[in-house]
Amino acid sequence: MPPSLYLLSPPLRSSHRLFFPLFCFFFVSSLILCSLPGSASSPCENPPVIFNFGDSNSDTGGLAAGLGFPVNSPNGRTFFHRSTGRLCDGRLVIDFLCQSLNTSFLTPYLDSLANSNFANGANFAIVGSSTLPKYVPFSLNIQVMQFIHFKARALELVTSGAKGLIGDAGFRNALYMIDIGQNDMADSFSKNMSYAQVIKRIPSVITEIRNAMTTLYDQGARKFWVHNTGPLGCLPQKLSLAQEKELDHYGCLSRYNSAAKLFNEGLLHLCQEMRPQLKDAAIVYVDVYTIKYDLIANSTSYGFSSPLVTCCGNGGPPYNYNIRSTCGNPGSEACRDGSQFLSWDGIHYTEAANEIIASKILSMDHSQPRTPFDFFCQG
Ligand SMILES: *[C@@H]1O[C@H](CO)[C@@H](O)[C@H](O)[C@H]1NC(C)=O
Ligand SMILES: *[C@@H]1O[C@H](CO)[C@@H](O)[C@H](O)[C@H]1NC(C)=O
Ligand SMILES: *[C@@H]1O[C@H](CO)[C@@H](O)[C@H](O)[C@H]1NC(C)=O
């Protein structure tokens, strides 16, 4: 679809498919299930502009662009057949979500040589990002400040006659996605904080996400899509490095996962609290934790044999993770068939896993309120 078709989006038409979920959002309390007839598989004629904020789970090349940090092969070996800056063998969850709307993959905001005018949005997510501390590259509040700059500059250029950029309506109707928090949890543990100290820090992390959403709302954002954080204690990297080794039924670190779950409770609560506060805003919370944990717990039924073993790494069993030779660096080696593995590099999931995770996100079964992703298509 040529950019001009969806850049300056028409005013929202109250067609049946659009009207129904709006009705749910505006008039029915947030947790009531809203399903809408026949829209899940209909093509997205007018994909929304998407702005994404987060960490490596949704970084489509920002680390390489922003810090010049090399992301070497075999990253990108499937699908792209070259390194794209994604820490994955192929596509990330956000790539599959974009594909489901038939919109292009998101370009990293800092990619100065992108073959893109950012007509379909921009990706502010960068590997390693957390919410705290603030004002360091590329914490969530910096990402939001970058967005504000991007928006002001785009509108300025549009006003002076530039074509093919996102205009007022594009920003207003855009989808604002947030997937952050994993590094806040991970950083706390890696600083040797006690479990009690890790937990105590969660409310300030949630406050940062609240600040980000409020700032975006003040900038005109009305559509939010928020991913919770995955089971941190099932990452091979954490399993190989953690000091405490109390494992749950599936071999994951219990405390790490408990902390992740407490963070997720806080995030869910935040979304519920913000719905009446951010008037006319749709806020969808997606329980990615449950999706990923199910994938690990029931890995064999999904066709994965060793859910806690890294495909690309070094060191062999039990986790094939060695911090001194991680994926893409000397000494590491990649498995032959990544589609047999859940973990790509010890921290990030394989494309095969991401495809399943994305399809479960699209199923709406883990969304509150139940909202199809193509709800955000315009008409
Ligand atoms: C997806 O976009 C391509 C062009 O970018 C177009 O040819 C195709 O028809 C679209 N598919 C759907 C299902 O909208
Ligand atoms: C954490 O504790 C372990 C052992 O108790 C120690 O080896 C490591 O250096 C500590 N890390 C930090 C960041 O203090
Ligand atoms: C594993 O799969 C079963 C059957 O679908 C499901 O009931 C269970 O909740 C799953 N386990 C986890 C930990 O998600």
Domain layout of the chain by residue ranges: 29-302+352-367
Per-residue model confidence (pLDDT) at position 378: 77
Kindly tell me the sign of the dihedral angle through the C-alpha atoms of 188, 137, 124, 126: negative
Pick the CATH number of 29-302+352-367 from 3.10.590.10, 3.10.250.10, 3.40.50.1110, 1.10.3720.10: 3.40.50.1110
Cα–ligand 1 centroid distance for 103 (angstroms): 9
Ligand at minimal distance from the CA of 249 is: 3
| 345 is a catalytic site residue | yes
Active site residue 16: no
Q: What's the average pLDDT block by block, 10 residues per block, for the chain (379 residues)?
A: 28 31 36 38 81 98 94 97 97 97 95 87 98 97 98 96 93 97 97 96 98 98 98 98 92 98 98 97 98 98 96 97 97 97 98 98 98 87
Q: What is the CA(164)–ligand 3 centre distance, in A?
A: 47
Pick the catalytic residue from 345, 366, 367, 374: 345
Query: Does the beta carbon of 1 lie inside 6 Å of ligand 1?
Result: yes
Predicted structure pTM score: 0.88
Tell me how far CA of residue 306 lies from CA of 80, 110, 236, 242, 320, in angstroms.
25, 36, 11, 20, 11
Cβ of 5 below 6 Å from ligand 1: no
pLDDT of residue 379: 57
**142 C-beta neighbours (distance < 10 Å), count:** 16
What is the structure's pLDDT at 59?
A: 98
For ligand 1, mutation pick of 5, 42, 99, 102 (most atoms within 8 Å of CB): 102
User: Counting Cβ atoms within 10 Å, is residue 251 exposed (0-12), middle (13-18) or buried (19+)?
Assistant: middle
Active-site residue flag, 294: no
Output the DSSP codes for 16-85. Answer: HHHHHHHHHHHHS-TTS----TT-TTS--SSPPPEEEEESGGG-SSHHHHHH-----TTTTTTTTSS--S
* pLDDT for the residue numbered 245: 86
Q: Which of 9, 30, 39, 56 is catalytic?
A: 56
